[in-house]
Chain A
């Protein structure tokens, strides 16, 4: 089992979709939201994922394919 901390940023058209719920069910990942802010025009969530490494990878690919931006929780690591 592995844990991964990530930040999801949602486009306006995805605010009403249960992306995190589906991620958990479809890929057998435990999702634990630590901080989030969802408004009518956008939203983000900082969460921890707990599951098999390959399930997490596949799950995150699916989340990206839905149009959700996935970032490390500390922002960009690459600097000038």
Chain B
């Protein structure tokens, strides 16, 4: 059994028993999972965690699943000391959390793993989600492994590679012919109408808890401490708030020291409602219509936006938006310095990191962690027109030497 006490409204504090619901019946505020921390403190220790399996189950006491976690190999991804990028940005202790290496190539495997495990406990036989890519793949993959039906709703104009990346797992793929708002509206109504486990709607409180494992792993991999600074991509804001919650939980259980992490939001300028609110000094997020190449962060009305703003104020962090050109440059920079090919959200984080480092926001020796949440093969089109073409040669040494000389001369002339 888990150590879950129940659900609590984040607005009015009203408490509810565990159930597949995401809103408070009184004020319609979002509910979240609360735990019996005293009981957890008697069960958990650094030693026990360290002896645990190299997946999300090692933090099971702090997750809301009663039985086994549906696992397709998610978690315990590498935390890499980014020496080359760090040198370029004058940061001696820069780390990259490489969550591209999850089974469906994004951090969404973490949240979906918990959501699907919980959906089975609730007795659902069908999973569903509305997605522009990563979530679709993660839901379909976990549905396949768990033997559940999956319905995946995507905008009809989604890139073909992303459709294949989800449909290969065998879900019912539904392409909705409508704009961003219409797809949102339809899926919200479907979630009300069908008795399915909509992973990020009625299962959302449990789903979101899966993101904490990213924070747990970073703390453990840093030698049981929270970083001095974290740069986190923000879409709905759930990842941002849960990584923070995870570190607070570890501290309250005596597993790490006080959390003094400066939390930084990274968004694409074409979809930056949180950055806009932060820069205007507002405590509420004003919805926007997304228009960016970074589809994985294109959420105009982020569910957790106001909670992200609260954490920014509490942690003394900040928020940065970067242009689509910066995103492409960020993807190339991360690939060409650390050998990590991230999707556009990783480009957003890397570009935001470069911007912040340029402003000397971080002391040189600070421990800075950038969360890279999805793999670049999902968004090949973002960089495909921005890379030098291959040298075209005949099968002779002289042809190669000629082409090489030409390329070198071109490099000099543009240098």
Give residues in A with beta carbon < 8 Å to B: 5, 9, 34-35, 37, 42, 44, 46, 48, 69, 71-80
Q: Tell me whether A78 and B183 are in contact in the complex, defined as CB-CB below 8 angstroms, given that A5-B23, A72-B188, A73-B23 are known contacts.
A: yes
| A80 to B238 Cα, complex, angstroms | 12
- Which of A34, A76, A80 contacts B28, CB < 8 Å? A34
Q: Is the CB of B284 within 8 A of A74?
A: no
- Using CB atoms, name the residue of chain A closest to B238: A79
Q: Is the CB of A76 within 8 A of B301?
A: yes
Q: Is the CB of A80 within 8 A of B295?
A: yes
B346 CB–A CB distance under 8 Å: no
Q: A75 to chain B: which residues have CB within 8 Å?
A: 236, 299, 301-305
Give residues in B with beta carbon < 8 Å to A: 11, 22-23, 26-30, 108, 129-135, 155, 180, 183-185, 187-188, 191, 198, 200-201, 204, 235-236, 284, 286-287, 295-305, 345, 374
| A46 to B134 Cα, complex, angstroms | 30
Q: Is the CB of B298 within 8 A of A77?
A: no
Main secondary structure of the interface of A (DSSP, over half): strand
Q: Is the CB of A35 within 8 A of B180?
A: no
Q: B302 to chain A: which residues have CB within 8 Å?
A: 75-76
| A80 to B235 Cα, complex, angstroms | 8
| A35 to B184 Cα, complex, angstroms | 22
Q: Is the CB of B22 within 8 A of A74?
A: yes
Q: B131 to chain A: which residues have CB within 8 Å?
A: 78-80
Q: Is the CB of A73 within 8 A of B28?
A: yes
Q: Is the CB of A79 within 8 A of B301?
A: no
- Which of A9, A48, A77 contacts B200, CB < 8 Å? A77
| A9 to B277 Cα, complex, angstroms | 15
Q: Is the CB of A48 within 8 A of B28?
A: yes
Q: B201 to chain A: which residues have CB within 8 Å?
A: 74, 77
12 contacts between A and B (CB under 8 A): A35-B28, A35-B29, A71-B287, A72-B188, A75-B301, A75-B302, A75-B304, A77-B198, A77-B201, A78-B184, A78-B187, A80-B133
| A44 to B26 Cα, complex, angstroms | 17
